[in-house]
Each structure stands twice: as structure tokens, then as C-alpha cells.
Amino acid sequence: MKSSIAVVVLAAGAGTRMKSSLPKVLHPLANRPMIQHVLDNAAALKPTRIVGVIAPGAKDVAAAFAPYPTVVQKKPLGTGHAAKAALGALRGHTGPVLVVFGDAPLVTAASLQRLVTTCAKERAAVGVLGFVAHDPSPYGRLIVQRGILEKIVESKDADEIEKTVDFCNSGVMCLDGRLIAGLLGGIKNNNVKREFYLTDAVALARAAGHKAIAVEGDEAEFQGINSRAELAVAERALQQRLRAAAMVAGVTMIDPDTVWLSADTRFAADVTIGPSVRFGPGVEIAAEVEIKAFCDIEGVRIGRGASIGPFARIRPGSDVAENVHIGNFVELKATRMGRGAKANHLAYLGDADIGAASNIGAGTIAVNYDGFGKWRTVVADDVFVGSNSSLVAPVHIGKGANVTAGSVVTEDVPAGALAFGRARQVTKKGRAAPLRAKLKARAAAAKRGKKK
């Protein structure tokens, strides 16, 4: 069932410190735009509505919010002004309103729910997620007296006593939907930056006799992202979180710090992952799979008991069935490997269907591109393809066929057939030495010509 919560996501910041044409909230973390992490965490609370606040002309950001609606903050006049822009979209909502930031993607759904639950229990008009900061200097301070949050003081406006406080504001706020319009309407811009601070809602609520509280969380969750360096810090933190969750679920990582996951990577239990492995988007791994070192895997389902790598690359659109072996320096692109199929060494299989129990020899290439179009290679079950073969698509190799080593296959091979697709070997006895002498003389002449 849906809750009575509404969520406002502030995403109108210009992000100038990112030095990028891409809007800040669309920069990726774990191969997903950071705003998507925020929306996923908000959606986990099952709110009645989610509203995004964006800058004028930010069509790409609006598209990233879909299917949730967005409103425009016409001028960048501060967080209070941005939250006020969402009031029209909140019309009729009387439950809690969570205000979160689009550039703070590490805040968990559990922390958001804890804030809402505590506010309800304490009957607080305003609640704030706070944290004890290792270095509080950049943050607004939470001024708490006898368990009541009296006010939030921005760092630039803090006096000397307030600057000694290390309990800091995360930016995440919960407001009573019945009071939010009045609180936001009362915010003034009488501060150093001449902006309307959302944080002033706390002092306004207290002045009106309402209760305000602060709920402590972990500083690691509240990293905002304003620069490429901070993006890298957040990526590292998110990767640690994803790795830890995978290992708790039964995945073995030989060297966890070198494994890079996507937000949507899915593992069954008893998967083993070697060092220096990257998982791009869209990967699903079944049980008892081993991914050996230095593999790059994206957009694939890998079946139970498969063995991948080392130094294998699997590109999007592929499907690897149970007990398949993909060995060193093998690349798949949009290729389906049937149950028990093997490609153990130095092969490129692009736009191919490899049947069950078929063996693809070292150096084999599925020649899928003719300069204009991509074509499929179909290898049926129980086929043996010898080393250093080129399968020129479109081509079909029938069940149980053998393709001899070094073949260039340009025509379909019937089931059970033996295919030779190479030039006949010619041997000329005693001709090696004269050929070498000729080649040596030619190289020497070319060298003399260069000196002139």
C-alpha cells in the first residue's frame, strides 16, 4: 500500500563546478544517473507523489524524472525558494513532505523512512537528518537544546560559538504537509548570500510553537556532489556498499576493491569473482559461476556453472547458458552460447548463435560486418570449429558438423558434414634458402636507398 508521504527532489542546481555540458544530476554513479539513485530511494517509501524541482530549460533532467512530474524554479534564489516552487504540485497533501537533494544519491531509503517515522512518533512539524561531521566547517550547524532542534545556522552565518558545534545538517528535511505552505512562505533572505534558505523553516516552526527534531545518521550517506572529485568519492563509497551487499548475499570476491559493479548487477549465491573485473549495466549472474580476473562484462545473462575468463569481454545483447566456458581473450557481442558450449581461447564471436556442446577453436572469428550491415552466424549443437577459422556471415553450420582448422567458411555447412575452406598447401623442396637470400638482398637495397 502507498504511504501518505510526498517527496520533493531539489534538482535545479547549475552544477558549474562539474565543468560539464551534462547536468550535474545526470552524471553517473555505478552506471546510473545520480538522480535515479535518489528517485529509487524515494520510491522505496511508496509515497503518494514525487515531485522534481528543476531549472528552466532542463529538458534532459525532466526526462530523467519521468514518470514523475517536475516544476521549474524560475530563478536560483536558494533551497527555500526551490521547495516553494513545488507547493502547487503538493496541493491537497496533508501528510509528511520529505525534501531531498538530487545531488545527494547516497542517502538510503532506510534513513529517509527513519526520519519520517521519528517525526510521526514525536509529532514534530519539522525533522532533519543530521550527522556528526569529521570536519564541520562546510556545513550548516544543528542547534539542539534538550532534545529539541531550535534552528539551523548556515556555516557562513554562524557565530564563533555556533562554529564549535559538530552536529551538522544533511539537507534532508521532513515537514508537516499541513504547515509547509506557511513555513516556506515565511522564509526571508536576510543572510549573507541573500538567498531563501529552506533551513530557516526550523526556526519559523519553533517561533510558532511547533516541535522540531534532528535524527542522527551516518556521515557517509550525506556526501553531496558538486565536483568531479566529489563524484569520484561518491562512486567509491557506492561501490563499497554494492560489494558488501553482494558478499552478504553469498558472492565471493577475491579482491573486492578491484571489482566494479553497476547498480543493477544481480548475482545468485556461490558466484566467485576474481580481481579486476568490471560489470557494466544489465548483468545477471546465476549460481556457481566463476568470473576470473580482468574480465569486462556488460548486458548479459550468465547461466549456472559457467566459467568466464580470465581477460574475457562480453558485450551487450549476449546470453551465456549453463556450464559454458568462455576463456582468455574471447570477446562476445550479441552472441548466444548454448548449454556447455566452449570458446576457450582468442576468439571473436559477434552476432552469433553457438549451439549446445559446440567447441569454438582458438583464433576463430565470426565475421559479422561487411562494411554496411551486421549479419548472424548460426552454429548448431555439437559442432567442432577448428582453430583459426573465419565464419563469414550470414552462414549456418549444421548439427554435428566439423570445420577444419584454418578454414574460411562462406557457405552453409550441412549437418554432419566436414568442411574445408582453405587453400591447398603447396610445398617446394629446397626453395627456402633462395627465397631468404632474395628477401635479404631486397631489404639491404631498401636500407641503402634510405641512407642516400
**pLDDT value at position 3?**
62
Q: What is the DSSP letter of 374?
A: B
Distance CA 120, CA 213 (A): 11
Residue 206: Cβ-neighbour burial (10 angstroms; 0-12, 13-18, 19+) = middle
Q: How many other CB atoms are there within 10 angstroms of residue 56's CB atom? A: 10
Sign of CA dihedral 90, 104, 185, 151: positive
Give me the pLDDT at residue 393, please.
Answer: 97
Q: Count of CB atoms within 10 A of residue 428's CB?
A: 8
Q: What is the pLDDT of residue 192?
A: 75
Q: Which residues pair with 50 in a beta bridge?
A: 7
Burial of 393 (0-12, 13-18, 19+ CB in 10 A): buried
Amino acid at 287: A
Pairing of strands 342-350, 359-360: parallel
Ordered by where they begin, the domains of the chain are: 6-222 (3.90.550.10), 228-419 (2.160.10.10)
Angle of CA points 179, 182, 184, to nearest 5°: 100
Task: State whether the Cα torsion 233-239-242-243 is positive or negative.
Answer: negative
Which one-letter amino acid corresponds to residue 316?
P
Which of the residues in the chain have pLDDT under 70?
Answer: 1-3, 452
**What is the reported pLDDT for 1?**
42
What would the pLDDT profile of 269-305 be if each residue is shown by its tens digit? 999 999 999 999 999 999 999 999 999 999 999 999 9
332 in Cβ contact with 318 (< 8 Å): yes
Question: What does the alpha-carbon distance between residue 8 and residue 227 come to, in Å, rounded to a whole number?
Answer: 23
- How many CB atoms are closer than 10 A to CB 325? 18
Q: Which residues are catalytic?
A: 345
Burial class (CB in 10 A: 0-12, 13-18, 19+), 123: exposed
Q: Which residues are 101's β-sheet partners?
A: 10
Q: Would you say 23 and 60 are in contact if contact means Cβ atoms under 8 Å apart? A: yes
- Those residues whose C-beta lies under 8 Å from the C-beta of residue 361, and which sit 6 or more positions away, are 345, 347, 384, 385, 386, 387, 388, 389, 405
Which pairing describes strands 167-176 and 126-132: parallel, antiparallel, or unpaired? antiparallel
The pLDDT value given to residue 425? 82
The pTM is what? 0.89
Q: What are 57-62's contacts with CB under 8 Å, separation 24+?
A: 58/11, 58/12, 58/23, 60/23, 60/26, 61/11, 61/23, 61/25, 61/26, 61/35
The per-residue pLDDT for 157 is 85
What is the model's pLDDT at position 156? Answer: 85
E strand or H helix at 408: strand 408-409
Q: Which three cell numbers stand for residue 87?
A: 507547493
Distance CA 447, CA 441 (A): 10
Burial code (b: 16+ CB inside 10 Å, e: under 16) for 63-99 equals ebbeebebbbbeeebbbbbbbbbbbebbeebebbbbb
Amino acid identity for residue 223 in this structure = Q
**Residue 424 to residue 216: CA distance in whole angstroms:** 78
How far, in Å, CA of 339 to CA of 325, rounded? 10
Under a CB-based contact definition with an 8 Å cutoff, are residues 125 and 204 in contact? no
Structural element, H or E, at residue 284: strand 283-285
Which DSSP helix (H) or strand (E) runs through 175?
strand 167-176
User: Rounded CA gap, 3 and 112, in Å?
Assistant: 13
Three cell numbers at 419? 568442411
